[in-house]
Amino acid sequence: MLGTPIEYARIARATLEDDRLLATTQMCVLRHDRADTADLARTTAASALPNRHALLRGLEYENPGALNDRPVDALVAHGTVEDIAHRAQQHFDAEVDHVSLHLMTTTPDSPPISQGEQRACLPARWHRGR
């Protein structure tokens, strides 16, 4: 699953048998200040929206095409290292087995933060215990 809201992860897990692998890729915009992430998060959500519009409508997001904060936040984790780690943990809490982080940036040749800080973002576990 790429760029899916936590609510959908819960539905997917309830639909799958417990022994089935459920993996997701979380789109992320990482900066030291969450206020600096809004524009890129909105642009990232807009690019994912054509494939996620019906999904968001089905999850009772009103007018997801308006790209207000709710659908943007549902599709793209953005903010600080702690914000991104919190979103990954929410996926694990929804019983997702594996979460990969897809880091979005406006400058692909220059990471938004140091590699050490990126590693600090990683949750203590990458797989849900069974």
Tell me what pLDDT residue 105 has: 79
Tell me what pLDDT residue 129 has: 55
Alpha carbon dihedral 31, 25, 3, 5, in 10-degree steps, equals -90
pTM summary value: 0.81
- Find out whether 98 and 21 touch, Cβ atoms under 8 Å: yes
Q: Which of 3, 8, 9 is nearest to 96 (CA)?
A: 9
Q: Which residues of the chain have pLDDT under 50?
A: 130
How does pLDDT run across 23-53, given as a tens digit for each residue? 999 999 988 777 788 888 999 899 888 989 9
Tell me what pLDDT residue 128 has: 55
Tell me what pLDDT residue 92 has: 93
